[in-house]
Amino acid sequence: MIERVAYLWPEIALFAATCVVMVLGLSRSLALRRLCGPVCGIGLVIAGLVALRTPASPGILPQLMPYAKAMIAGVGVLLLLMLGGTVDREEEEQIAAGQRTFDATRTNRAEFYAFFMFSFTGLMLCASADGLIWLFLALELTSLPTYVMVTISSRSARAQEAGVKYFFLGALGAAIFLYGFTLIYGGTGMTRFTDISAVLAAEGMNSITLAGVMLALIGICFKIAAVPMHFYTADVYQGAAAPVSAMLAFVPKTAGFLAIILLTTMVSAAAGETGGGDGGWLPEPVRVLLWVIAAMTMTVGNVLAILQRSVKRLLAYSSIAHSGYMLVGIVAGPGDGSFTHNGLAAVLFYLLCYGVMNVGVFGVVACLERRGADGWEEVENLDDLRGLCKARPLLGWSMVICALSLLGMPPLLGFWSKLPLFTSAISAGEVALVIVLAVNAAIAAYYYLGLVKAPLLTDPDPDAAPMTETPVVWRRLATVLSASGVIALAIAADPFMRASETAGRTRDLMKPDHGAGEHAEAVPVAPDDR
What does the pLDDT read at residue 525? 38
Please indicate whether residue 507 or residue 362 has the higher confidence score (pLDDT). Answer: 362
Q: How confident is the model at residue 190 (pLDDT cuts 50, 70, 90)?
A: very high
pLDDT over threshold 50, residue 517: no
- Taking the C-alpha atoms of residue 336 and residue 497, their distance in angstroms, rounded to an integer, is 15
Span 218-241, average pLDDT = 94
Residue 44's CB: how many other CB atoms inside 10 A?
Answer: 26
Q: How confident is the model at residue 511 (pLDDT cuts 50, 70, 90)?
A: low
- Taking the C-alpha atoms of residue 325 and residue 440, their distance in angstroms, rounded to an integer, is 9
- Closest alpha carbon to 436 in 286, 303, 298, 342: 298
Span 164-173, average pLDDT = 94
Q: For residue range 465-502, list pLDDT tens digits in order.
A: 778 888 899 999 999 999 999 999 999 999 999 999 99
SS3 letters for 144-184?
A: HHHHHHHHHCCCCHHHHHHHHHHHHHHHHHHHHHHHHHHHH
Q: Answer whether 149's CB lies under 8 Å from 183's CB.
A: no
What does the pLDDT read at residue 528? 40
What does the pLDDT read at residue 526? 40
CA-to-CA separations, 292 to 320, 331, 391, 521, in angstroms, rounded: 14, 10, 44, 37
**What residue type is assigned to position 341 of the chain?**
H
For the ranges 380-389, 404-413, 445-454, 509-518, the lowest mean pLDDT is seen at 509-518
Q: For residue range 267-281, list pLDDT tens digits in order.
A: 998 885 433 334 479
Tell me the β-bridge partners of 375: 372
Q: For residue range 279-323, list pLDDT tens digits in order.
A: 479 999 999 999 999 999 999 999 999 999 999 999 999 999 999
What does the pLDDT read at residue 522? 38
Q: For residue range 419-437, list pLDDT tens digits in order.
A: 999 999 999 999 999 999 9
Q: For residue range 1-32, list pLDDT tens digits in order.
A: 677 788 999 999 999 999 999 999 999 988 89
Q: How confident is the model at residue 337 (pLDDT cuts 50, 70, 90)?
A: confident
CA-to-CA separations, 47 to 44, 59, 188, in angstroms, rounded: 5, 21, 35
Span 85-95, average pLDDT = 84
- Closest alpha carbon to 111 in 162, 75, 145: 145
**CB-side exposure of 413: number of CA atoms within 13 Å?**
28
Whether this prediction's pTM lies above 0.85 is answered by: yes
Q: How confident is the model at residue 59 (pLDDT cuts 50, 70, 90)?
A: confident
Give percent helix, percent strand, percent coil of the chain, each to the nearest 5. Answer: 75, 5, 25
Please indicate whether residue 147 or residue 461 has the higher confidence score (pLDDT). Answer: 147
pLDDT over threshold 60, residue 509: yes
Q: For residue range 346-358, list pLDDT tens digits in order.
A: 999 999 999 999 9
pLDDT over threshold 70, residue 523: no
Q: For residue range 394-408, list pLDDT tens digits in order.
A: 999 999 999 999 999
What does the pLDDT read at residue 516? 38
What does the pLDDT read at residue 91? 82
What does the pLDDT read at residue 121? 97
What does the pLDDT read at residue 156? 85
What does the pLDDT read at residue 372? 66
Burial of 58 (0-12, 13-18, 19+ CB in 10 A): middle
What does the pLDDT read at residue 513? 39
